[in-house]
A = this chain, B = another copy of it.
Amino acid sequence: MSILVLGTVALDTVKTPFGERKHMLGGSAVHFAMSCRLFTDVNLVAIIGADFPQKYIHFLSQKGIILTSLIRSQGKTFKWKGEYKGDLNSALTLSTELGVLSTFRPSVLKEQRNIRYVFLANLDPDIQRHLLRHMRLPRLVALDSMNYWIQHRRKSLLRLLKKVNIYVANDQEARSLSGEVNLIKAAKALRILGPQMVLIKKGEHGVLFYSDKFIFSLPAYPTEKVIDPTGAGDTFAGGFMGYLCKAKNMNETSLKKAIVFGTVAASFNVEDFGLNRTSRLSIQELSERTAKFRKCVSI
Q: Report A's interface with B, CB cutoff 8 A.
A: 86-87, 181-185, 188, 202, 204-206, 208, 214-220, 222-224, 226, 256-257, 260, 294-299
Asked if A296 contacts B86 (CB within 8 A), the reply is no
Asked if A206 contacts B219 (CB within 8 A), the reply is yes
Q: Which residues from chain B contact A217 at a C-beta distance below 8 Å?
A: 206, 219-220, 222, 296-297
Looking at the assembled complex, report how far the CB atom of A14 sits from the nearest CB atom of chain B, in whole angstroms.
18
**Given the contacts A87-B181, A226-B182, A297 and B295 also touching, CB distance less than 8 Å:** no
Asked if A222 contacts B226 (CB within 8 A), the reply is no
Q: Which of A86, A256, A257, A299 has the most CB of B within 10 A?
A: A299
**A297 closest partner in B (C-beta):** B217
Asked if A296 contacts B215 (CB within 8 A), the reply is yes
Q: Which of A224, A256, A260 has the most CB of B within 10 A?
A: A224
Asked if B299 contacts A257 (CB within 8 A), the reply is yes
A260 to B297, CA, bound (A): 11
A81 to B298, CA, bound (A): 39
Asked if A184 contacts B257 (CB within 8 A), the reply is no
Q: Which residues from chain B contact A220 at a C-beta distance below 8 Å?
A: 217
**Given the contacts A219-B217, A219-B218, A296-B217, A205 and B208 also touching, CB distance less than 8 Å:** no
A208 to B204, CA, bound (A): 12
Q: Which of A183, A220, A297 has the most CB of B within 10 A?
A: A297
Asked if A260 contacts B299 (CB within 8 A), the reply is yes
Q: Which residues from chain B contact A216 at a C-beta distance below 8 Å?
A: 296-297
Q: Which residues from chain B contact A298 at a C-beta distance below 8 Å?
A: 298-299
Q: Which residues from chain B contact A184 at a C-beta distance below 8 Å?
A: 222-224
A185 to B87, CA, bound (A): 12
Q: Which residues from chain B contact A214 at a C-beta distance below 8 Å?
A: 295-296
Q: Which residues from chain B contact A257 at a C-beta distance below 8 Å?
A: 299
Asked if B296 contacts A87 (CB within 8 A), the reply is no
9 pairs of residues in contact across A and B, judged by CB atoms under 8 Å: A182-B226, A183-B222, A206-B217, A215-B222, A217-B219, A218-B219, A218-B299, A256-B299, A294-B299
Q: 10 closest pairs, A vs B, by CB?
A: A217-B219, A205-B205, A184-B224, A87-B181, A184-B222, A256-B299, A185-B224, A215-B296, A219-B219, A217-B222
